[in-house]
Amino acid sequence: MAPPLAFVGPLAIIMTVSSVSSSKINRCPLRHKSGVQRPPLVIGHRGASFHLPEHTIPSYRLALEMDADFIEPDLVASKDGILVAVHSVDLNVTTNV
């Protein structure tokens, strides 16, 4: 039987990195069916992966500097149950192997 962490791979785990300030709420509200206004959430998928290599500390920091509300890493469990931040489990995509 696979370790419990092996089932984390297909799921994206969202980590809260900052709270939404009232200035963001007033800056760009969205109206929902209920009539309640909520701000849009800015999510740094793999950090600021357009600007820096994905899943790196500098990429996560830049996403925060760019006012991301969340960082969303792609987590995959290795065979021994260790979580690794990587988008694809195919080594040809992420390395020159």
Read off the tokens for 7.
């089932």
DSSP SS3 for 39: coil
The answer to whether 51 is a known catalytic residue is no
Read off the tokens for 82.
């260790």
* Residues whose CB is less than 8 angstroms from the CB of residue 56 and which lie 6 or more positions away in sequence, other chains included: 47
The answer to whether 87 is a known catalytic residue is yes
> Residue 40 is which amino acid?
P
**C-alpha–C-alpha distance, residues 65 and 82, integer Å:** 29
Residues with catalytic roles = 45, 87
